[in-house]
Structures are given as structure tokens and as C-alpha cells.
Amino acid sequence: MSRISSIAPWLIAVFLLYFLFRYYPLNEVLVAASYVNFYAFSAYILLYFCYRAIVDSWSIQRTLNHFGIQAGLSSILELRLASYLPMTLNAGVGQGAMIYLIKRRYKEPLAKVSSILLYVLIVDVYWVLTFAFLGSLLVGPEVVEHALLWWIRAVWIGASLLLLGLFWFWRLPLTDARIKWIKARHLFHTLHKASLADYFRVMLWRLPLHCATSTYLYFLALCFGTTIPFNKVVTLLPLTIAVEAIPITPAGIGTVQITAILLFQNQVSGGPIASGQVTGAEIILAMSLLFTFAMYILKLIPGLIFWRKAIL
């Protein structure tokens, strides 16, 4: 059973890629990929990867220090790079590895480390929804054809109310035994301890990371000689990020490409699309595949280098 569960995500990824290449022939996708400016693409991907790794590590280090785990930036960066190895399977696995590595290096209780990174995860999810909400305020009625505009706004309002409810939940003098049991769990210690100022502080620390992750497709399109309106990228890209986090395939291979095509095939324009040489769907598929595999390799290499050192 364990062997089946380990290969199932790869089988699903292969099936999804087969489906995509049946619908969009591989030779046409390769033609679309040929329009990439290799030097601009390579420079941007490398810059994006390094920036994301450093800013992510810096904000995690600040959050750990704030909640009682004294850690250095270089040490956390090393652990983050090591966690990229299991992250090539899935983002959730990578986060679990990061928790284990921090616990091991700093000899802290597992529940305490898990509590802090759970808190960071909640902030991250809220930032993704917030960027989508802000983007929805900048687009015109043409986005309504996706039936997403008001849905995005409703989800953000619901998430905001839920976050406020979560904040006050730990502070209300509730007497129910089950609620007391929940409040006593060490896994939720950081949520219990965090003040409103802490929420704003951690959100500020995570903001530079989300500014990059919620806009990368805009700059990626430029490497292909095409453009996607910035407001539409900010509105719709968070949905692709959310799909990538679902543990269906390794690194979201297949699921991310299908989502990107559905959301952006009618939003990309210019260059080879304007001349009729490729379609919007083909350029988005080529763009998404190149980005996904480039990031996969960039995570795999430092993951292999730093993993052994991190667990010693």
C-alpha cells in the first residue's frame, strides 16, 4: 500500500501531462517554448528562486525569534534549502520536513515548532486570499466571465471574519470542556499567545515573499515576448498557487498547468500570439511547464546538497 501511495502522485502527473499533450500537441507546445528569451528567463528564475529562499528564511527566522526560538538567518536558510528536497514531492511534505529540521537543530519541542509554523501558514493563506481580493478590485467586468470576481471577494471576507474569530476564540472565557481541551493543546500555543500586533507584525514580515509569489507570472510572460495584465495576474495567480499546494501530484505537475490554461489563456497577448503562430493556451502551457521544471531543478539541487548536513 505504501508503494502504491508513493507512486500514485507520479502516475497522476503522467496521466495529466498525457491528457494535456493530447489536447495541445507536443510539437506545438515546443514551438511556443521556442519563443522564450533563454537568458532573460534564466536570469529571472534564478533571481526569483534566490529572493524567495532568502526572504522566506528571513521571515521564518524573525517569527521563530519572536516566539522564543533563537535562530540565526544563515542556519534557517540552510534548513529551508534542505527542506526543498522533500518539497519536490509536495509543499506540505516540505513544510513537515522544515518543522522536523528546526526541532532537531534547536532541540525544541515538536509541538512548539509546529505551532509557530502553523501560525505562519495561516498568515500565508490569508495573504494569498488578500492579494486575490486586491486584484479583484482592480479588474473590470471582463473577469466576471470566469465567475470568480465576486467569489474571490466573498472568500476574502469570509477568511477575514474567520481570522478575527480565531483571534478572539483564544481570548473568550469559554467553559465548555472540549474547548478547554483544544486551548490546552501545545500545537495551538502560538495562536493562543499571539496578539493582534503579532498578526500584523508577521504579516509584514511575510509580505515581501508574497509580493514575489503573487506576481511572478507577469514577469515570466515578458520572457516569452508576451504580456498578461498585472491586475489579472494578481487576481488569478493565487488560485494557481492554491492548486499547487493540493497534494495530488509532485510539485503540482499537471494540475498547475490545467489551472493556468483555464485562467490565463484568454489573458495573454502580444508577440507570437498576435502573429497567430501559437495560441494563448499553448504559450501558457509552455510557460508553466518551463517554470515548474526549472523551479523543480533549482529546489532539488540545493536540497540534495544541504539535506545531509541539516540532519547531522
Question: Using 50, 70 and 90 to split pLDDT, how confident is the model at 192?
Answer: confident
Give the integer Cα–Cα distance in Å for 308 and 300.
13
Is residue 138's pLDDT more than 90?
A: no
Sequence-ordered list of residues with C-beta below 8 angstroms from that of 104, at least 6 positions apart, any chain: 311
AA letter at 212 = A
Candidates 49, 75, 73; CA nearest to 62 is: 73
Is residue 103's pLDDT more than 70?
A: yes
Task: Give the model's pLDDT for residue 183.
Answer: 67
The model carries a pTM of 0.88
pLDDT in tens, 254-291: 888 998 998 898 889 888 888 888 899 999 999 999 99
